[in-house]
């Protein structure tokens, strides 16, 4: 079944499972970067819900854009739903559903509360303190916004993703862009095109109703 590669923003996110190595042997976190990340986390924790539109750009080893897709993510606490190119990832924080429109198939799993996967909800919280080293990598100006760029590296060096750059809108303290670097040379850039807080998102958004998908094939892995 065709899967969505998300992180991110986006999910289940950029997945970096596994036991983290000791940070002491790998370096120390940048306190300036922590202040910025803590500000984003604090602001997000005060929101009742979020609806964000984004563009995912997939780049090859030579920085050539090989694909571009538009998507939307809905978040409410630890619950989330991601729509991207005819596919959906839905989680009510207990059960997750991954739906592929082209196959009309949904895969159901239990949510592992101990997983270190980076879900959309975790992206805006303090996930960074556990499994990453991070440092402030200067500021840039893009589309009239001053972005604070934070380079993050997973403490578990065995994973395919070796670096993530998170760009924070300095004025609004929101994540504006995230770029994921894989060891095979591929890059994935998630750019937030709109961020709407405290919208009226019903709890029904975060569950999968098979009645709305006639003939759907259900693969239940619980």
Q: What is the predicted pLDDT for the residue at 78?
A: 84
Q: What is the 3-state secondary structure (H, E, C) of the chain?
A: CCCCCEECCEECCECCCCCCCCHHHCCCCCHHHHHHHHHHHHHHHCCCCEEEEEEEEEECCCCCEEEEEEEEEEEECCEEEEEECCEEEEECCCEEEEEECCCCEEEEEECCCCCCCECHHHHCCCCHHHHEEEEEEEEEEECCEEEEEEEEEECCCCCCEEEEEEEEECCCCEEEEEEEEECCCCEEEEEEEEEEECCCCCHHHHCCCHHHCCCCEEEECC
pLDDT band at 8 (very low <50, low <70, confident <90, very high): very low
Residue 73 in this model has a pLDDT that exceeds 70:
yes
pLDDT band at 68 (very low <50, low <70, confident <90, very high): confident
Identify the band that residue 65 occupies on the pLDDT scale cut at 50, 70 and 90. low
For 6, the token pair is 């998300």
Give the separation between CA 9 and CA 66, rounded to whole angstroms.
19
- The first and second tokens of residue 179, run together, are 């770029």
pLDDT band at 208 (very low <50, low <70, confident <90, very high): very high
Mean pLDDT of 135-152: 94
Q: How confident is the model at residue 63 (pLDDT cuts 50, 70, 90)?
A: low
Q: What is the mean pLDDT of residues 89-93?
A: 92
The pLDDT of residue 14 is above 70: no
């Amino acid at each position: 079944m065709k899967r969505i590669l998300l992180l991110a923003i986006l999910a289940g996110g950029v997945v970096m499972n596994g036991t983290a190595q000791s940070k002491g042997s790998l370096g120390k976190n940048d306190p300036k970067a922590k202040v910025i990340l803590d500000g984003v986390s604090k602001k997000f924790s005060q929101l009742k819900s979020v609806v964000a539109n984004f563009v995912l750009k997939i780049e090859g080893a030579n920085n050539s854009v090989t694909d571009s897709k538009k998507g939307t993510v809905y978040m409410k606490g630890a619950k989330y739903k991601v729509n991207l190119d005819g596919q959906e990832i839905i989680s009510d924080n207990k059960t997750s559903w991954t739906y592929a429109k082209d196959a009309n198939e949904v895969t159901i799993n239990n949510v592992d509360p101990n997983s270190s996967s980076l879900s959309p909800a975790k992206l805006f919280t303090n996930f960074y303190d556990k499994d990453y080293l991070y440092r402030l990598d200067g500021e840039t100006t893009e589309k009239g916004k001053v972005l604070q760029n934070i380079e993050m590296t997973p403490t578990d060096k065995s994973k395919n993703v070796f670096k993530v750059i998170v760009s924070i809108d300095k004025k609004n303290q929101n994540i504006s862009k995230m770029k994921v670097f894989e060891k095979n040379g591929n890059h994935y850039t998630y750019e937030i095109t709109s961020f709407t807080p405290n919208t009226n998102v019903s709890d029904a958004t975060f569950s999968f109703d098979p009645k709305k998908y006639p003939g759907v094939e259900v693969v239940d892995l619980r």
